[in-house]
Structure 1
């Protein structure tokens, strides 16, 4: 009996390990922009080792393909993936841009918010939260295509690999403009969103969208974000990004190192005020070391000895 149990456990481990290898391969294909091969690899993994994680990846990959058939596929696997999920992650996942205007998305929103509230806490302003989640998706929804092409842009010596990127960039700009108009209406109606009112994730969306507008609007609404941050109602990174951006736009040195530029085809941070103390400032507002942030987010190597 002991041998049978050992054999069974070995088979289970082998199946799990094999499934993980396939999942890594599928993720790699997706990251390269090879969506159809990635979808096929996810489907193969799902047949061999079904899980909510793989189902979610199937949903997001299908959604990125944008066709009617693929939207149906995306909703099918997304509903399966979220059966035991009480988080709000899917509601602000930019991979689902092609789904948010479909009536079925409202069902996904309602189900996730209900589960979230049952497991965590009520969302005091659900309508505001849902609008913010959708705006996050619209703001970031073309980043998948854009980031792939931006990597190629760097490796091609400053040229995009396909003219198809230009209408994508135009659609991205259109979405940001629509977000700006919608957010200003919502701010007039509700005021600045706080984490306790719409959740931390949705509140971060307001700062994200304002940060992608104009200097005039950033200047106007930054005091509201700053007040919310001081009360513990806004994410430190969103506060830091807008503060730094306003400083850079005024020709001053940034404080937290969140803003970067291209210099000789390399990403480098904009000048930082007393860079040897930047980690101290970041820690004071709840952020980790700048070196780690720049490497993980932008693959920027940054070496400045820090002082306490």
Structure 2
């Protein structure tokens, strides 16, 4: 009996310590498992859900301490009663899970070792037997070391456990046992091998034969049986292979973008599985690091199970310059134990994973310009902005009220005031909102040109052109985009001319005209080096000379004249 007690003592003590430390490495994950048990359809203890993390931390630390106390022989009576009550409770839970099938993984060993409900129950039955042996053979449990050393050992174990708990809560689990660990490829994790076991089903076919019900069981084939067919019941008798990663998706607006993003290089993913319980302070750090990532050429997206309205509101409140996509909440909880958290993906491979507390430690490279990748979501947004940019402008330049009203009705406007003053006010409000959006893109990602948004490359230019007070700040960026072929260079020329005219200086390409209500009348704004303007216009991509352009602008009877700033500014 003494030998049996000794073996049981070591086995139970070590197992409790290992099991507790594995869960202590990921108390957030264990708290999710407790929430499964607290759910209405399981134990109906929803009032405990808000305290799931606290309960999880207490249970796992207590589990480790009981293992230590058993091994060193500390507080023998208290330790044995605690072990007995704990294992009885765990045995009940695992039996309940196995019978009902409502919780498919008890989380006994976290993600390090997955056990089926029945395997967990049998494990707890073995432990229950061993603990009963210890309980009734407690006289053979002799303490090790002196009383003071035993107390110090237990206290030191508590301090270590609290230290580990603090570290993993403020950062991430020390060891990642999940299929989304650093180095894992998400696409490969979702793949089912060709030789993977297939599920096997048993079919119970029911027939009415001579007034009696007859059941014939097959593995799928319809049986050759006379009589009236009643129905069939299907039972899975052997589960097929399930890939370690499933239910992973990136969706937005009813479109699945999973394949696109998993084939993309230099992708930063912000994960916030549920905004209602997110740590909002984290988004200030997220804002800083994602703006830096965008500026260096990375693509940034968010993943959340919250609604699109909630994620848009969050992006607006914290001025986040990226869009959120939908993914299953359980999957997001599994990916990173931080809400919010950050990943770096390289063609679906997880290269970095960080808690929001460690956002500043995200390692970013200055990517070569050739690594800029198309952004279909941004293109779609810019297409919408381009429409808004012209929403009322088409009506502004119509000469009569009747023409404006007719055009407005054709455009789908209802019961609007079509006076020219109202149109300008409405368009000005749109221009201001558009500029706020475009400013965020300029400040984080640079100019959204052809390589990023394809044929939507001019949308941001038009928004800036219609907000001239911002041109001075962003003109160098526009020039750089034009030199790189990201936008037509003639647009760069037009913006530079407009900027110079606004400052009261001669323009360069002759794209800007002016109309005065005095003897000056219609004119082409003075041009620096007017003799070379047509050559400059040709180089910039204009197809007309300054003379022909002036006629297009002011009519066939208009004759272009070279003017100086003194001519324009005279009283």
Give TM-score, length-normalised by structure 1. Answer: 0.50
Q: Which residue of 1 aligns with 2:291?
A: none
Distance in 2 (alpha carbons) for counterparts of 1:278 and 1:299: 20
- Asked if residue 243 in structure 1 is aligned to residue 496 in structure 2, the reply is yes
Q: Which residue of 2 aligns with 1:212?
A: 466
Deviation at 1:163, TM superposition (A): 7.3
Question: Which residue of 178, 202, 215 maps to 2:456?
Answer: 202
After superposition, give the CA deviation of every residue in 1:2-25 in whole Å (9 maximum; x if it has no partner). Answer: xxxxxxxxxxxxxxxxxxxxxxxx
After superposition, give the CA deviation of every residue in 1:166-214 in whole Å (9 maximum; x if it has no partner). Answer: 1111111111111111111222343211212212x42212111112214
Structure 1: state its 5+ residue gaps: 1-122, 153-161
Q: Which residue of 1 aligns with 2:397?
A: 147
Deviation at 1:304, TM superposition (A): 5.5
Classify 1:177/1:272 alpha carbon distance in 2 versus 1 (closer, same or farther; 3 Å): same
Contact 1:256 1:272 in 2 (8 A): yes
Q: Which residue of 2 aligns with 1:303?
A: 560
Contact 1:139 1:176 in 2 (8 A): yes
Contact 2:507 2:525 in 1 (8 A): yes
Tell me, what secondary structure is at the counterpart of 2:396?
A: helix
Distance in 2 (alpha carbons) for counterparts of 1:290 and 1:139: 28
Tell me, what secondary structure is at the counterpart of 1:256?
A: coil
Q: Which residue of 2 aligns with 1:283?
A: 538
Q: Which residue of 2 aligns with 1:127?
A: 377
- Asked if residue 185 in structure 1 is aligned to residue 435 in structure 2, the reply is no
Distance in 2 (alpha carbons) for counterparts of 1:264 and 1:127: 46
Distance in 2 (alpha carbons) for counterparts of 1:151 and 1:163: 7
- Asked if residue 164 in structure 1 is aligned to residue 414 in structure 2, the reply is no
Tell me, what secondary structure is at the counterpart of 1:166?
A: helix
After superposition, give the CA deviation of every residue in 1:208-255 in whole Å (9 maximum; x if it has no partner). Answer: 11122143x211111111111111221122101111112112221001
- Asked if residue 262 in structure 1 is aligned to residue 515 in structure 2, the reply is yes
Classify 1:285/1:261 alpha carbon distance in 2 versus 1 (closer, same or farther; 3 Å): same
After superposition, give the CA deviation of every residue in 1:110-156 in whole Å (9 maximum; x if it has no partner). Answer: xxxxxxxxxxxxx811122122222221111212211103899xxxx
Q: Which residue of 1 aligns with 2:482?
A: 229
Classify 1:148/1:261 alpha carbon distance in 2 versus 1 (closer, same or farther; 3 Å): same
Aligned residues: 174
Contact 1:135 1:179 in 2 (8 A): yes
Tell me, what secondary structure is at the counterpart of 1:135?
A: helix
Classify 1:294/1:128 alpha carbon distance in 2 versus 1 (closer, same or farther; 3 Å): farther
After superposition, give the CA deviation of every residue in 1:39-74 in whole Å (9 maximum; x if it has no partner). Answer: xxxxxxxxxxxxxxxxxxxxxxxxxxxxxxxxxxxx
Q: Which residue of 1 aligns with 2:123?
A: none
- Higher fraction of helix: 1
After superposition, give the CA deviation of every residue in 1:251-287 in whole Å (9 maximum; x if it has no partner). Answer: 2100111111112374321111122321111112221
Contact 1:253 1:272 in 2 (8 A): yes
Contact 1:244 1:258 in 2 (8 A): yes
Distance in 1 (alpha carbons) for counterparts of 2:374 and 2:523: 41
RMSD between aligned alpha carbons? Answer: 2.9
Classify 1:179/1:280 alpha carbon distance in 2 versus 1 (closer, same or farther; 3 Å): same
Distance in 2 (alpha carbons) for counterparts of 1:151 and 1:251: 34
Question: Which residue of 509, 512, 529 maps to 1:274?
Answer: 529
Contact 2:506 2:528 in 1 (8 A): yes
Distance in 2 (alpha carbons) for counterparts of 1:177 and 1:197: 24
Q: How does 1:26-175 map to 2 (within 5 A)?
A: 124-149=374-399, 164-175=419-430
Distance in 2 (alpha carbons) for counterparts of 1:209 and 1:292: 27
Distance in 2 (alpha carbons) for counterparts of 1:239 and 1:150: 33
Contact 1:208 1:238 in 2 (8 A): no
Q: Which residue of 2 aligns with 1:253?
A: 506
Contact 1:236 1:287 in 2 (8 A): no
Structure 2: state its 5+ residue gaps: 1-372, 403-416, 563-571
Contact 2:468 2:499 in 1 (8 A): no
Tell me, what secondary structure is at the counterpart of 2:509?
A: coil
Give TM-score, length-normalised by structure 2. Answer: 0.28
Tell me, what secondary structure is at the counterpart of 2:511?
A: coil
Contact 1:226 1:239 in 2 (8 A): yes
Contact 2:374 2:453 in 1 (8 A): yes
